[in-house]
Amino acid sequence: MSIKNQDHIIVGKLGATYGIKGWLKVFSYTEQSESIFSYTPWMIKIKGEWTEIHVESWKRHGQGLVAKLEGMDIREDAQVFTNAEVAVLADQLPALSDEEFYWRELFGMSVVTTEGYDLGKVTDILETGSNDVLVVKANLKDAFGQKERLIPFLDEQVIKLIDRTAQRIEVDWDPEF
């Protein structure tokens, strides 16, 4: 399969150059910030095309991270990558058990109440302090006049079943909310 046809998962972003030897600041979106360096190669979009790059070296710097990319030996070479998103191919992510899933898998899934009412489709997930929240875009002719629903992602209490095969999430939720 060509790189163009594979899913690219954004795991971070490159920042400004650091020093004169081609190092760049790295902003990691991974749960443990240093985990971004366990993925190789990185994919960077340059002029609309995904390009494979490799990290030659990395280190902590203060509260952040910096990295030196292969072939980037001077500041001017590295500046091209400032503000570029860092992606990995979806198949580089660790395999999960049947009970686990990545948030990205939930996007587009239908959300249905335990009584069978179709609430709509997942369009986003909000991370709040206490629990995550599914953003569900309601169907055009929603019987309750809802355009969007915010449903707390509380496993077992609200979220009753996530069915990857059927692309469906069953929830114990009042459709009026």
Give the strand pairing for 8-18 and 23-28: antiparallel
Instruction: With beta carbons less than 8 A apart as the criterion, state whether 128 and 49 touch.
Output: no
pLDDT in tens, 27-57: 998 888 999 999 999 999 888 889 999 999 9
Give the number of other CB atoms < 10 A from CB of residue 163: 12
* Mean predicted lDDT score pLDDT of the chain: 90
What pLDDT was estimated at residue 55? 97
pLDDT > 60? residue 2: no
What single letter denotes the amino acid at residue 126? L
Q: Which residue has the tokens 């360096």?
A: 37
Instruction: With beta carbons less than 8 A apart as the criterion, state whether 87 and 10 touch.
Output: yes
Instruction: Write down the domain spans for the chain.
Output: 8-92, 98-171
Cα(128)–Cα(164) distance, integer angstroms? 24
Give CATH superfamily name and number for 8-92. Answer: RimM (2.40.30.60)
pLDDT in tens, 94-141: 888 877 888 888 999 999 999 999 999 999 988 887 889 999 999 998
Three-state SS for 158? coil
Let me know if the fold of 8-92 is the same as that of 98-171: no
What pLDDT was estimated at residue 3? 38
Cα(176)–Cα(124) distance, integer angstroms? 20
pLDDT in tens, 146-163: 999 999 999 999 999 999
Give CATH superfamily name and number for 98-171. Answer: PRC-barrel domain (2.30.30.240)
pLDDT > 80? residue 5: no
